Structure 1
Amino acid sequence: MTKRIFITATNTNIGKTYTSQLLIKALSHLGLRVGVYKPIETGVTSIPSDGNLLYQSALIYNPSLASLSINDIVTLQYPLPAAPFVANGGKAIDFNLFEKALEKIEALCDIVIIEGAGGLMVPIDEESMMIDLPRFFNATTLLVSHCRLGCINDTLLSIKALQDADLPFVWGLNCQSDDSSFEATSLPYFQHRFDPFYRIDKDIDAIAQALLDTITL
């Protein structure tokens, strides 16, 4: 069975797509044919931008994906930039659509990166939230957190949610150029509490290996 990694974050605009692009490269360098999938994207007016970035990045290393279209990569597309529950008017979403789409992608790859929308507690429909997807997909999760003030709280809440749901995961911090206070205000806690912990930009190869190790446990 093709290996699956689910990418989530502590909120929206944290860097899921950026992280996924780095992970595509790292896994490809390990000799794996990487596929990508984004079950739901909101805020789509023409082409789903995040899904297309994933698709174009994966094509560089896995040209066989050219037989697919962007609609194969992003199953559900909604124009309103909101949680899927809101963007879809609260209607039920059939998860079997996702599994059927993945079958097509997985025929062309060894491992697939599945990118969620927003954070773990984003509502999909009346019955489901984003945190339900990694279990449905039987995927290990990569949690992406930020480095702004408040990242300790946001990271710990998301880690607790994954632990309470008994979901396997790896996590990393996506620090950006304007996160100037991180070294003084948040880094000391992470160094005290976690050994090791990962920085997305510096440790993507180690993150890729940790994810593969978690999948094969």
Structure 2
Amino acid sequence: MKRIFMTGIGTGVGKTLAAACVTEALKAHYWKPVQAGLDDGTDTRTVKSLLSNTNSVCHEEAYRLREPASPHLAARMEGLTIDPAKIVQQADAIQPQDDYLIVEGAGGLLVPLNDDVFTIDLIRSLRAQVIVVAQNYLGSISHSLLTARVLQQTDIPVLGWIFSGVEHSNEADIVRWSKWPLLGHIPFASNIDAAFVQEQATRLAETLTGALQT
């Protein structure tokens, strides 16, 4: 199954930008099944604006929720319940035959989708490989290694780490402690546009291809 799930160690760690770079590097299709918070636009629209290749398709979300909150809470506020089976069915319907599908999650692994199902459960149901996106901040080592520990206790395959923002020596320590490879680092930039994403995608392409072949 050529499916890659982008998860983060938390919220606001550069996951959408990393997803755009991976999508561009693999000329893949992109999909964010659950979008919570619509007032400032959507991650799907952002990713679409950052892609240069003509092969990638950005697919419509399964759930569009107005409140910028945890998906289970945002859905509850609209009188809805997120159905993971619906998400899996839509993934199967849009999955390209020969191309990768990049699936972007909301926040981290233990973000609840409803009263009983968390993001990590959805990843397993989607039969996806995982890329973990991290960023350096006070507490990020713990958040990174907690994410790693949870995944290591499952049978979910992990391709490796993408770090974003200002580079820090913590990255090497996290890679060493987790025993997962470093796929790349997306630097801080004041101007993020399609040219920037294309440049980062070129840098990521080799390590991504190598990770996918192992």
Q: Which moved more, 1:101-110 or 1:130-139?
A: 101-110
Normalized per residue, the structure richer in helix is 1
**Percent of residue pairs bearing the same amino acid type:** 26
| Aligned twin of 1:40 | 34
Structure 1 residues 167 and 64, CA gap change in structure 2 (3 angstroms): closer
Asked if structure 2 preserves the Cα contact closer than 8 Å seen for 1:169 and 1:211, the reply is no
TM-score by length of 1: 0.78
Conserved 8 A contact 2:159-2:180: no
Distance 1:115 1:195 in 2: 20
| Matched residue type, 1:212 | L
Partner of 1:151: 140
SS of the equivalent of 1:54 reads helix
Question: Is 1:95 equivalent to 2:94 in the alignment?
Answer: no
- What code does the residue aligned with 1:137 have? L
Alignment partner of 1:50 is 2:37: no
Q: 2:111 aligns with which of 105, 115, 122?
A: 122
- Are the equivalent residues in 2 in contact too, given 1:140–1:211 (CA < 8 A)? no
**1:72-99 deviation line (CA, Å, top 9, x unaligned):** 4211011111111110118532223223
In the alignment, which residue of structure 1 is the partner of 2:122? 133
User: Match for residue 20 of structure 1?
Assistant: 19
Structure 2 contact 136–165 (Cα < 8 Å) conserved: yes
Indicate if the aligned counterparts of 1:35 and 1:62 stay in contact, CA closer than 8 A.
no
Note the alpha carbon deviations across 1:24-44, whole angstroms, 9 max, x for none.
Answer: 22213xxxxx11111101011
User: Could you say which residue in structure 1 is the equivalent of 2:213?
Assistant: 213
Deviations 1:86-120 (A, max 9, x none): 10118532223223332443247611000000010
Q: Is 1:93–1:124's contact at 8 Å kept on the other side of the alignment?
A: yes
TM-score with structure 2 setting the length: 0.79
The DSSP-based 3-state class of the residue aligned with 1:113 is: strand
CA 1:106/1:19 → structure 2, altered by over 3 Å: closer, same or farther?
A: same
1:204 aligns with 2:204: yes
Give unpaired runs (5+ residues) of structure 2.
187-199
Alpha-carbon spacing, 1:190–1:143, altered in 2? closer, same or farther (3 Å): closer
Q: Determine helix, strand or coil for the equivalent of 1:171.
A: strand
User: In the alignment, what sits opposite 1:31?
Assistant: none
CA distance in 2, matches of 1:21, 1:11: 18
Structure 1 residues without counterparts, runs of 5 or longer: 29-33
- CA shift for structure 1 position 64: 7.3
Q: How many angstroms does 1:127 deviate by?
A: 1.3
Mapped to 2, the partners of 1:19 and 1:187 lie a distance apart of 16
